[in-house]
Amino acid sequence: MARTITYREAVNEALAQEMERDESVILMGEDNAGGAGSPGEDDAWGGVLGVTKGLYHKFPGRVLDTPISESAFIGAAIGAATAGLRPVAELMFVDFMGVCFDQIYNQAAKFRYMFGGKAVTPVVIRTMYGAGLRAAAQHSQCLYPLFTHIPGLKVVLPATPYDAKGLMIQAIRDNDPVIFFEHKALYDLAGPVPEESYALPFGEANVVREGGDVTIVTLGRMVHTSLEAAGQLAADGVQCEVIDLRTTSPLDEDTVLESVEGTGRLVVVDESHPRCSIATDISALVARKAFGALQAPIEMVTAPHTPVPFSSALEDLYIPDAQRVVNATKTVIGWTR
């Protein structure tokens, strides 16, 4: 596994390899080809941050450039999925899901259930999330808890290039609607990725660092923040086990519980808001199912319960950093009754 590519390239490669393998895979989204009416010859942008760059020409007729009308094209993608295609639709920023949410949570998520298993909806909705790009309150949110809440959707948040490729391939091959979250700040992250195709199963958390003193459960970009903190804590003799959930629905409860049963201490690190989030969900899970193992109260490291600030100074304070994870971990380690 010697080859190194970026997270952006890993997503692109997964799309290309699946389109090559299965002609029912199509792409839809804004700015794929430079806008409606554009021939796309000079101007195929590959989406706003260039993730699908190159595919428009490589797969003629299978990369559709859509108008700025999410309710229309997300609905069209879902309809196409029920009719036999495997569309991958790009909802530019997850913040825009408000305008197409009925299509997602009330239609796509319900078809398999309401039609007694006779309908499948193999659609993937790719979307960007997260703060850090000075993009303000309407382009920076971490809305994955909202989708995790809805039965019938699968919710995926790769943290590394390797995971991005394998989870995207699984998302395309999966017969249920998948919301695929890509963190803007991870696109240039490079890592080893096999050239061949591979699918990573959903519902399997990744233990990215082993340790016996405290469990840090995290996801998405915060995996890297947590690893940075774990490295600092190791210098102080605190060994953290860092768990990357990879998918929030389905959720790998076993890996989390087994780890906490070993360490007796839990810190959850989630870039989303502190209420009704992955942090609260994991905390509730552990409090209910591993209560006897806990040796200290659970700590959560999250963004505050505010919109993402546009002020760069405030935005930097808003995003959880390694120091906050270190502090929370020390609180958990040092707790006495």
* Side-chain-side CA neighbours of residue 84 (13 Å): 1
- The residue from 41, 188, 204, 236 that contacts other proteins (CB under 8 A) is 204
Region label for 35, one of left (φ > 0), alpha (ψ between -120 and 50) or beta (otherwise): left
Interface stretch with other proteins, choices 69-77, 79-87, 98-106, 199-207 (CB under 8 A): 199-207
Touching other proteins, residues 226-255 (CB under 8 A) = 254
Find the shortest distance in angstroms from Cβ 195 to other proteins: 8
Q: Is residue 211 part of the contact set for other proteins (CB under 8 A)?
A: no
- The residue from 41, 102, 115, 198 that contacts other proteins (CB under 8 A) is 198
Angle of helix 7-21 versus helix 161-173 axis, rounded to 10: 30
Q: Is residue 23 part of the contact set for other proteins (CB under 8 A)?
A: no
Q: Is residue 83 part of the contact set for other proteins (CB under 8 A)?
A: no
Establish whether 139 is a catalytic residue.
yes
Query: Among residues 204, 304, 305, 308, which one has the least CA distance to residue 256?
Result: 204
- The residue from 201, 212, 297, 304 that contacts other proteins (CB under 8 A) is 201
Interface stretch with other proteins, choices 38-46, 60-68, 202-210, 303-311 (CB under 8 A): 202-210
Decide if 226 contacts 274 (C-beta within 8 A).
Answer: no
Interface stretch with other proteins, choices 42-50, 66-74, 152-160, 191-199 (CB under 8 A): 191-199
Binding mask 131-160 for other proteins (x = CB under 8 A): ------------------------------
Q: Is residue 2 part of the contact set for other proteins (CB under 8 A)?
A: yes
Decide if 62 contacts 26 (C-beta within 8 A).
Answer: yes
- The residue from 200, 238, 279, 332 that contacts other proteins (CB under 8 A) is 200
Helix (H, G, I), strand (E, B) or coil at 316: helix
Residue type, 10: A
Decide whether 102 or 210 has the Cβ nearer to other proteins.
210
Overall size of the chain counted in residues: 337
Distance CA 94, CA 141 (A): 7
Residue whose entry in the numeric block shows the structure tokens 């895979």: 25
Find the shortest distance in angstroms from Cβ 283 to other proteins: 24
Other CB atoms within 10 A of residue 32 CB: 25
Q: Is residue 196 part of the contact set for other proteins (CB under 8 A)?
A: yes
Distance CA 176, CA 152 (A): 7
Q: Is residue 76 part of the contact set for other proteins (CB under 8 A)?
A: no
- The residue from 76, 199, 294, 296 that contacts other proteins (CB under 8 A) is 199
Distance CA 57, CA 55 (A): 5
State in Å, rounded, how far the first CA of the chain is from the last one.
48
Which residues form the interface with other proteins (CB under 8 A)?
A: 1-2, 162, 166, 194-201, 204, 207, 210, 254
Residues taking part in catalysis: 139
